[in-house]
Amino acid sequence: METIVKRIQTVDAKVIEINQTIAELEEETRLLRSRVRKILKDNNYKISSSDEMIFNSAKSMVDDVIETLGITKDKLLSSCRDSEIVLTRQCIGYILRHTYGLNLKSIGRILSRNHTTIIHGNKAIEVSLYLHRNHNDSKSKEVLNYLNEIGLVMGLTEKIN
């Protein structure tokens, strides 16, 4: 019983030590970031957040997709309800949300839609994926193939299934 208590105390001490090290590293990271920002600002560099860089990268990927698929940007961003255009928008929105982690508002800005439209599109793709996985639905297989085709253009190395 005594050895168990000693082991618990040893583990507790190590946990405290690790937590202190983490706190020190977080403080050091904060200080380094502050110094880098100051240096960049002093040298007139524009500081862009990682979210902004991801957003700009996603916009260029969307441009690649529409160029590859032969769809005009105006048509993709218009109020057009052709099934191919709608499916393209939904697939792009799904990939941007689930693979690149963009928030709904950012995806809406890229696709000229509001966040509720993006939510609906994501749900539609998820339903198709569910139907394909569980019922081998042929329409869902077409959606899955199209989703993977767009994903390939957007630089995904793995298939969505």
- 57 and 121 co-located in one domain: yes
DSSP letter assigned to residue 113 = -
* Joined tokens for residue 39: 């240096």
In a shared domain, residues 28 and 72: no
For residues 55 and 101, state if they share a domain.
yes
pTM for this model (two decimals):
0.65
CA distance 58 to 94: 12
Would you say residue 24 lies in a domain?
yes
Residue 70: which region, alpha, beta or left (left: phi > 0; alpha: psi -120 to 50)?
left
Is residue 8 in some structural domain? yes
Nearest-angstrom CA–CA distance, 20 and 27: 11
Take residue 121 and report the two structure tokens written for it: 């599109």
Report yes or no on 107 lying in a domain. yes
pLDDT in tens, 69-121: 899 999 999 999 999 999 999 999 998 888 888 889 999 999 999 999 999 99
CATH number at residue 76: 1.10.1750.10
Q: What's the total number of domains in the chain?
A: 2
* Strand ranges for 4-150 from DSSP E: none
In whole angstroms, give the CA distance from residue 121 to residue 131: 15
User: Each residue of 20-49: pLDDT tens digit?
Assistant: 898 898 888 888 878 887 787 777 776 556
Is residue 1 situated within a structural domain? Answer: yes
